Chain A
Amino acid sequence: MKKNKVIKFFTESNKAFTLISILLGFIIGGLILWFSGFNPFTAYAVIFKGIFSKPSYISYTIIRSTPLILTGLSVAFAFRTGLFNIGAEGQYIVGSAAAALAGYYIQLPAVLLIPLVILIAIISSGIWGAIAGLLKSKYGIHEVISTIMLNWIALYLQNYITKIKGFAKPNSEASKFIQDAANITFFDNWKHSDKGMAWLNNHHFAKEILRTPANFGIIIAILCALLVWIILNKTTLGYKLRAVGFNKEAARYAGINIEKYMIISMFISGSLAGLAGALHVMGVSHNITNLSAMEGYGFDGIAVALIGSNAAFGTIWSGFLFGALKYGGTKIQPFMGAPSEIISIMIGTIVFFISMPNIIKISLNKILLKNKKRGEDVK
């Protein structure tokens, strides 16, 4: 009886399977390291220490995870409503460019400016996403094509924006910084002032944290996850969105205007990705730069969403896992000379196993079936 429960847990529980996949990712990554002459335990110890051994490391892990959680939520939200948003990348770019522009040009006190900048970023990236929704609902154009195209258009658009006269920083390929009033990094001015530095020198822990561009972003990201959960599970809007995602024809039959809801879904999805970009600009980079290639937040967001089973809270955890691997992974090269590509391989392996939640069930069935057959043969 008990044994059955354990088997049931591992074959039917999503969470357990995710954990097993992560473990498998680590094991396979470790084996590859071992075969190429590196001690996997040392490697994992380096990564682990590189993430947890200092408050500033933990802070960096959180900072790296924040945009991934949001792009993950963006992709997950679209998935739940039956759309595949490969365009989180472009929506992220539009959000960050909009935030950089608004944060630089609009003159207002911080209490008003910060929400306004976020609002502008959310709306512009939301519209960027909604374009794909509109193209799909009005012209039947698959969102995979339109979002891929919109990603590239966004990239060139940002490169144009960073060159606008007055906004571009001379002799550089970056834009000017946003104003202090739009800055959401914790105590950014104070911590660089003489007074702040004197105080921090006596408060080690706070100093460690504030060494990093720790900012309000993570709080907003978690609130967004909560919001997404509420929208999807507790509102009529969410009910209708999910209905469209679950079965379009049934939803139409039930009188839901699926065209409208597709656009709404892509708007929300786009604005989540755009928020990631905006928070990165407001809290970490404070400006935008010329992009010579995609940064990959949107594509990583797809993996984050999938590891998190497209659930709002699952995405938080997988965002943290992803951010931690990305941040901790940079350290295995300087500390032990192992190639950092191993992190991509590990993430790939984890996602690969997560794609097959039935693998254990099916393998078990096959083994059981074989044993049964063998038993019958003996008879």
Chain B
Amino acid sequence: MKKSFIIIMMLTLMLTLLLVGCGKKAAPAQKTDSVKPIKIALVTDVGGVNDQSFNQSAWEGLSRAQKDLGIKASYIESKQDADYMPNLETLYDSKNDLIWGIGFKMADRVLEAAKQNPNQKYAIIDFSYGDKTPSNVIGVLFKEQEASFLVGYIAGKMSKTGKIGFVGGMDVPVIHRFQYGFDAGVLYANPKAKIYEQYAESFTDAAKGKAIANQMYKNGADIVFHAAGGVGDGVIEAAKEKNLWAIGVDRDQSDLAPNNVLTSAMKRVDNAIYDVAKKMKNGEFDGGKTLTYGLKDGGVDIAPTTKKHVPQSILDEVSKIKADIISGKITTPSSKDAFNKWKKNYLK
């Protein structure tokens, strides 16, 4: 017992010495620039920085800001929800001028950190604290409903059967914005269209996404839109197999099935991040506010590959509707209640 204890101690000591010794060697000599660049960092949610979705988009925006604006960008990945708080702390310790939380799952943690460090600036994607936003925090929301409205309109026009599907991941507010914007767009194009809606209650189960999409196709749908993360891989796969249409989400998902992804409702997290960085460079910070990025400011859009499959006549109509949304002539609903009201106004 005694002996084992001594050996444990020795091993620990050796390891410690080894590490400390190396640690010293490893510390890089910091170059001191005359002008300190602005440092911006982000905490990804559990998807990680290469999730082919909004985390990746966020990092692309920050990298672009690094290239164009000369800010200093970095990121830290979360593996579990429990990582958010310590990761925010790690970035606080490395003295960043602005720390981003990517995704609404971090909402409560970013708020706590902001209260604790009133001199540190924070920003969060996909969440608004409303009136209670602290002065050192920016909330960033996207008008997913606007891009969804446009892809919905395309679907409504392109559908031969007049039946269209929507597959949601989980029943949460962000997904509702996609869903009801899409529904409104479909009905705006074709008031008689039938929309099938189903939630997978998962963001990971691709087989379930495929099954749900297959069922919709069987019921006569010829276009299915998904806002369902990994579940959407299955939706697009079903479209591929049946040679029908799927509509992608968050980024241009055309690469997953070039012949079957009709269009995608893109959420340009990168543009929002870049925009905030640019403002910071100019000494502006909209603390205490919620910034909302929509079609107008390039925060959402339809995929550039849309023109591959959609005829020019429909694209022209889409551009007109886009202008009308931007000018406020057409409103787009972001929740169930708003959708019901919208129906009363637009569909008489």
Contacts and interface: CB of A to CB of B under 8 A. Distances in A.
B76 interface: yes
Interface string B68-105: 00000011111111110111011101100000000011
B116 A211 contact: yes
Contacts of A287: 108
Given A19-B11, A48-B23, A172-B107, A292 B202 contact: yes
Interface residues of A, number: 53
Nearest to B12: A19
Contacts of B20: 45, 48
Contacts of A13: 4
Interface in B1-38: 3-4, 7-8, 11, 15-16, 18-20, 22-23, 25-26
Contacts of A285: 81-82, 108
Given A174-B107, A334-B94, A45 B26 contact: yes
B19 A330 contact: no
A38 B182 CA distance: 47
A82 interface: no
Given A16-B4, A54-B93, A192-B116, A289 B81 contact: yes
B170 A292 contact: yes
B173 interface: yes
A296 interface: yes
Nearest to A337: B74
Interface in A141-182: 156, 159, 163, 171-174, 177
Contacts of A39: 26
A42 interface: yes
A242 interface: no
A64 interface: yes
B171 interface: yes
B26 A16 contact: no
B249 to A, nearest CB: 15
Contacts of A159: 170, 201
B172 interface: yes
B11 A330 contact: no
B169 interface: yes
Contacts of A56: 89
Most buried by B among A41, A211, A330: A330
Q: Which secondary structure dominates where chain A touches chain B?
A: helix
Nearest to A333: B77
A49 interface: yes
B159 interface: no
A63 B84 CA distance: 13
B200 to A, nearest CB: 10
A280 interface: yes
B105 A289 contact: yes
B133 to A, nearest CB: 13
B279 interface: no
Given A13-B4, A192-B115, A334-B90, A172 B173 contact: yes
A292 B204 contact: yes
A284 interface: yes
A314 B8 CA distance: 14
A296 B80 contact: yes
Interface string A1-42: 000010001000101100100010010000000000001011
A77 to B, nearest CB: 23
Contacts of A163: 171
A299 B85 CA distance: 22
Contacts of A54: 93
19 contacts: A16-B7, A41-B19, A41-B22, A42-B22, A44-B19, A45-B19, A48-B16, A48-B19, A48-B20, A63-B86, A64-B86, A212-B85, A212-B89, A285-B81, A296-B80, A330-B83, A330-B86, A334-B74, A334-B91
Interface of B: 3-4, 7-8, 11, 15-16, 18-20, 22-23, 25-26, 41, 46, 74-83, 85-87, 89-91, 93-94, 104-105, 107-108, 115-116, 127-128, 169-173, 201-204, 229
Given A16-B8, A292-B170, A334-B75, 12 more contacts: A16-B4, A42-B26, A45-B19, A48-B20, A159-B201, A173-B104, A192-B115, A211-B116, A285-B81, A290-B172, A293-B46, A296-B80
Closest 6 CB pairs of A and B: A45-B23, A41-B22, A42-B26, A334-B76, A173-B172, A292-B203
